[in-house]
Amino acid sequence: MTLRDWLLVLLANSTLVLGGIVLYDTLRDAGRPVFGVVDLASVYREKEETFAKIIGNDKTTEEERNKAVAAAQSFAKALPAVLASLSQECGCVVLMGNAVVSKTTQVHDLTPLLRARLGM
């Protein structure tokens, strides 16, 4: 065999090995579960503070208090639906942020998206 033949064999072997590595890596990652986290406690605290300021203010009228209570009720009804839609949209399991001990690149923080969906 000539040097040219050896180089062609080396190139073919390298291509096959690299292709195998890429295929293995692709198939290995396909079965991994994907997780998303939300900091639900901070979202609740923020909404609670907003409603407490309105309801606890002496200058707030009864109509404004009723609107705040209605907004709190609609928030409580919308939250589970928004969380379910987040899970379906990202194709991941959504966990509370404090349930995850170690956040890696496979764990996506969905809190900003949750805040946007709730109009915060």
Residue-wise pLDDT tens digits, 60-75 = 788 888 888 888 888 8
What pLDDT score does 12 carry? Answer: 92
What pLDDT score does 11 carry? Answer: 92
Residue ranges, the chain, pLDDT below 70: 29-33, 105
What does pLDDT average to over the chain? 85
Q: What's the whole-model pTM score? A: 0.61
Angle (CA) 92-87-52 rounded to 5° is: 130
Q: Quick check: 77 and 5 in contact, CB under 8 A?
A: no
Q: Would you tell me the crossing angle of helices 40-56 and 62-90 to the nearest 10 degrees?
A: 170
Alpha helices in 31-61 (DSSP H): 40-56
Q: Beginning with the edge strand found earlier in the chain, give each strand of the sheet holding 93-96 in spatial order.
A: 93-96, 35-38, 107-109
